[in-house]
Chains A and B, each alone.
Chain A
Amino acid sequence: MPPVIDQKNCTQCGKCVDICSEDVFYGSEKKKTPLVTYPEECWHCNACVEVCPAEGAIRLRTPLPMMVCYK
């Protein structure tokens, strides 16, 4: 469920928590790895991924109901 945070790479800067308009990180504390409290409220805008200064610390996982259908 989006977003997914890799604790190893996260620098706990809180930028993702700050930018998310849906506030999926609600309840996160400063200088701690963010909590993904409301993943189902993610709009997949990618703002958290793009604002993250650390390589590989955050990514979005596409939920199965949103799978792209192709041939």
Chain B
Amino acid sequence: MLAKQVIEADVLCIGGGIAGLMAAIRASELGAKVVVAEKGNTLSSGAGGLGNDHFVCYIPEVHGPDVMPVIEELRRGQLGARLKDLEKTRVWIEHTYDIVKLWDQWGIPMKYRGRYEFAGHAYPGDSYPCHLKYAGKKQKSVLTKEARKRGVKIVNRVMLFELLSDNGIFEAVGLHTREGHLIEFRSKSAILGTGTVARLYQGLTPGWMFNATRPGTLTGDGRIMAYRAGAELFNVETLEHHAGPKYYTRSGQATWVGIVRDPQGKPIGPFLKKPYRKYSDMIIEVNKGLFSEYARSGKGPVYMDCRGISKNDYKYMQHWFAQEGFGAFTDHLKAKGIDLRTNPIEWATYGMRGSCGSVWQDINGQTSIKGLYVAGDETTRSISPAATFGWIAGAHAAKWARNVDAKASTKAKALIKAKASFLSEIMRREEGPDWKEVNIALQQIMSEYAGSIRSESLLEAGHRHLRRLKQEARDTVIAANPHELARVLEVLNLLDLGELVCIAAKERKETRGQHNRMDYAYTNPTLDKYLIVKNVDGQPVTEWR
């Protein structure tokens, strides 16, 4: 198995989600030769593949000339924890209106009945609601079309799994997930937009792994490739969780026009008493863990209760459900005779999404490796920053590619040879565990030893188990075809990430957010810092910044 094909570009976008496509469009507009390498199909891939109905946006004519009060208010919602960096937040927010106008022009309707409509993700009485309702159902096909229109080459069904920065050139190795051959990508600049991390922890339905808020194919490929290539990661120990309907996991909690109530019908939060289209129940953003807390204490279950919704608001909610990509979910409700106007739906805190932090980046998305950029979920987990920082990273990558003095890589050949031989060996094996078996074992260990309950001894033991599992997997895992081989590569990436989570979680000797250290049961204000982890000569090294 050798690289059958070499694809060269000025700018290589790894992952064709919202960020990757926006980066590709921008870089291409600025004259770069751009290739998008996508594991699935850009028409449906990534967290934006379902659709969406909220786009964070600051419009001076609506919100006033000063952006600061808008940012302050936004920080009180679910994105707050990721908006600490004021400069970056400001850059994002100030770009949003331009993106909104572009998208609208391209055919993603950003207006509702001819005007900008803000609803959801806001507390009653907020002065600057900035979550724009938009019809994002077809956003991926529109962006794909716009990219192609500008000459961007999109290569679907290729999983990039190894990256090398050498002599000013990026070499990436990809596996064609249908044909099984390797593809070598050579570029002067690369942008990682491979999304967040699914399948690292047990989800709400451990027996049904792909039932998650993000696509199960997002396995942190870009992040771990960047790490192996020498890029710094930060706050890898961070855990994130989400909440939504039980057991049918969906994002989009703020699309619901309803009240979160206990079994006696009492609202859990103080914000809303009656469903009203302008507001989602913000108690969810205050504490997404409340659903499992109520269940654990015996006070649950907790319901999303849309009873009392007006006829027009019900229609309004259904309209946005469709844009958010709830089609399969609403078909299911219909098939089972579940009517949201009369049936409260149980909600759950979903299992750990395992954010595993992000790749270290500057305001332009540049990582600690010159010419390597990140965007999308690596920046802030939301469509609007994905679009914005994709756009920004695309511009910077194009500029970098114009000026860099790139020479041929001296290490690429050996890397590809080694990878080809490893993959061939896996394909030759006739007996052994498949990717799923490895993945289940990984999730067990992560959830039990490095989940929301952590301590030095648990993390030590978990790390030990992971190392053994990784070795065993590398030596024995099998794959019947290229599709399964790609899943194997995903799980191997997850194993590497899992190890880093254990290492960083051991180092962060405090409790912060979902990182609960039983042996350090307090938040240490002096550790309100970035915990960096990087690969130094094959060994993970941590550093506080």
Contact partner, B345, options A19, A45, A62, A69, Cβ 8 Å? A69
Chain B residues within an 8 Å CB radius of A6? none
Quick check: A19 and B43 within 8 Å, CB to CB?
yes
Chain A residues within an 8 Å CB radius of B481? 26-27
Quick check: A23 and B338 within 8 Å, CB to CB?
no
Kindly state whether residue A46 has any CB partner on chain B within 8 Å.
Answer: yes
Quick check: B327 and A68 within 8 Å, CB to CB?
no
User: In the bound complex, how far is the Cα of B247 from the Cα of A43, in angstroms?
Assistant: 13
Chain B residues within an 8 Å CB radius of A46? 50, 325, 327-328, 331
A20 to chain B, nearest CB (A): 7
Chain B residues within an 8 Å CB radius of A23? 40, 157, 177-178, 483
Q: Which of B292-339 contact A (CB under 8 A)?
A: 301, 303, 325, 327-329, 331-333, 335-336, 338
Chain A residues within an 8 Å CB radius of B157? 23
Kindly state whether residue B211 has any CB partner on chain A within 8 Å.
Answer: yes
What 0/1 pattern do residues 7 to 28 of A give for CB contact below 8 A with B?
0000000000011111100110
Chain B residues within an 8 Å CB radius of A26? 177-178, 481, 483
User: In the bound complex, how far is the Cα of B209 from the Cα of A67, in angstroms?
Assistant: 15
Q: Which of A35-55 contact B (CB under 8 A)?
A: 37-38, 40-47, 49-50
User: In the bound complex, how far is the Cα of B163 from the Cα of A11, in angstroms?
Assistant: 41
Interface size bucket, B side?
35 or more
Kindly state whether residue A4 has any CB partner on chain B within 8 Å.
Answer: no
Chain B residues within an 8 Å CB radius of A43? 210, 212, 215-217
Query: Given the interface contacts A44-B328, A63-B208, A68-B245, does A22 sit within 8 Å of B343 by beta carbon?
Result: no
Q: Which of B242-263 contact A (CB under 8 A)?
A: 245-249
The number of A-B residue pairs with CB atoms under 8 Å apart is 117
Query: Given the interface contacts A40-B210, A42-B210, A69-B246, does A47 sit within 8 Å of B43 by beta carbon?
Result: yes
Kindly state whether residue B452 has any CB partner on chain A within 8 Å.
Answer: no
Quick check: B39 and A70 within 8 Å, CB to CB?
no
Kindly state whether residue A5 has any CB partner on chain B within 8 Å.
Answer: no
Query: Given the interface contacts A21-B44, A40-B209, does A68 sit within 8 Å of B216 by beta carbon?
Result: no
Quick check: B248 and A71 within 8 Å, CB to CB?
no
Give the interface centre of A18, A37, A40, A62 by most chain B CB atoms within 10 Å. Answer: A62
- Chain A residue at smallest Cβ distance from B137: A50
Q: Which of B61-87 contact A (CB under 8 A)?
A: none
B508 to chain A, nearest CB (A): 32
B487 to chain A, nearest CB (A): 8
Chain A residues within an 8 Å CB radius of B212? 43
Give the interface centre of B157, B211, B212, B481 by most chain A CB atoms within 10 Å. Answer: B211
User: In the bound complex, how far is the Cα of B291 from the Cα of A69, in angstroms?
Assistant: 13
Kindly state whether residue B365 has any CB partner on chain A within 8 Å.
Answer: no
User: In the bound complex, how far is the Cα of B249 from the Cα of A22, in angstroms?
Assistant: 17
Quick check: B215 and A22 within 8 Å, CB to CB?
yes
User: In the bound complex, how far is the Cα of B208 from the Cα of A65, in angstroms?
Assistant: 7
Kindly state whether residue A57 has any CB partner on chain B within 8 Å.
Answer: no
User: In the bound complex, how far is the Cα of B215 from the Cα of A8, in angstroms?
Assistant: 30
Chain B residues within an 8 Å CB radius of A67? 247-248, 336
Quick check: A21 and B210 within 8 Å, CB to CB?
no
Query: Given the interface contacts A22-B215, A26-B481, A71-B303, does A65 sit within 8 Å of B207 by beta carbon?
Result: yes
| CB-defined A-B contacts under 8 Å, sample of 5 | A19-B44, A45-B328, A68-B247, A68-B346, A71-B346
Binding site for A on B (CB under 8 A): 39-41, 43-46, 49-50, 157, 177-178, 205, 207-212, 215-217, 245-249, 301, 303, 325, 327-329, 331-333, 335-336, 338, 343-346, 481, 483
Q: A62-B335, A63-B208 are in contact. List 10 more A-B contacts (CB 8 A).
A: A21-B45, A22-B40, A23-B178, A26-B483, A37-B483, A43-B216, A45-B325, A46-B331, A60-B332, A70-B343
